[in-house]
Amino acid sequence: MTLQVKISKKLVSYEMAFSFLRKRVELIKKSKKNELIWILEHPLTFTSGIRSKKNEILDKKIKIIKTNRGGKITLHNPGQKIVYFALNLNNRKKDIKNLIKQIELSIINFLKLYKIKSKADKQNIGIWVKNKKIASIGIRVSNWVAYHGFSININNDLSPYKKIIPCGLDNTKITSIKLESKVQILNVENKLRDIFLENLKNI
């Protein structure tokens, strides 16, 4: 099964990335393009999922980009790694719960490299370090092509979270690898790629 991996070193706008991803999904449905994993970072961007509410925007001056992913309001900014994907579950197991499980395991295993003990939460999707969220997951499925992805706070500025109620949570309950680990942060993209590709074998 052929899968393309893209790693962008420069910041990519959310609008550009999502437009590219959406087009890729349609081409995968028609068997015209291979599956995709794309690792990148966004400039400061606030996005809302299909379960977002207006009262979760605390700073009314910020621009919110509406998306069709699951979940609520969140943000992306430099220092947060995004792993987008477009996976054809028609050629894999048609099991969304298993896909989410493998994503969760990928993030948990990645965090272990930094000696961070983390866990998934069935009530609040994402990955947690004690009672603070370090990674978010957002997925949509169309004709069994799963897309969107997950984000991990590496060494990003967390202060913009004060402008929103992220994922419906207390905005002080957000953390990052930089805050949780003394291990040097190197080769993040390659480590993420390798761990996610390994767990994709179980999908």
Active-site annotation holder among 37, 139, 152, 167: 167
Distances (CA, A) of 82 to 60, 94, 155: 25, 24, 13
* Amino acid at site 67: T
Is 115 exposed, middle or buried, given 0-12, 13-18 or 19+ CB atoms closer than 10 A? exposed
* C-alpha angle 134-137-138 in degrees, rounded to nearest 5: 145
177 contacts 134 by C-beta, under 8 angstroms: yes
- Report which of 43, 37, 78, 44 is spatially closest to residue 61, judged by C-alpha positions: 44
Is 75 exposed, middle or buried, given 0-12, 13-18 or 19+ CB atoms closer than 10 A? buried
130 contacts 59 by C-beta, under 8 angstroms: no
Distances (CA, A) of 153 to 61, 82, 89, 136, 200: 24, 9, 28, 9, 22
Our answer to whether residue 128 is catalytic in this structure is no
Which residues are catalytic, by number? 167
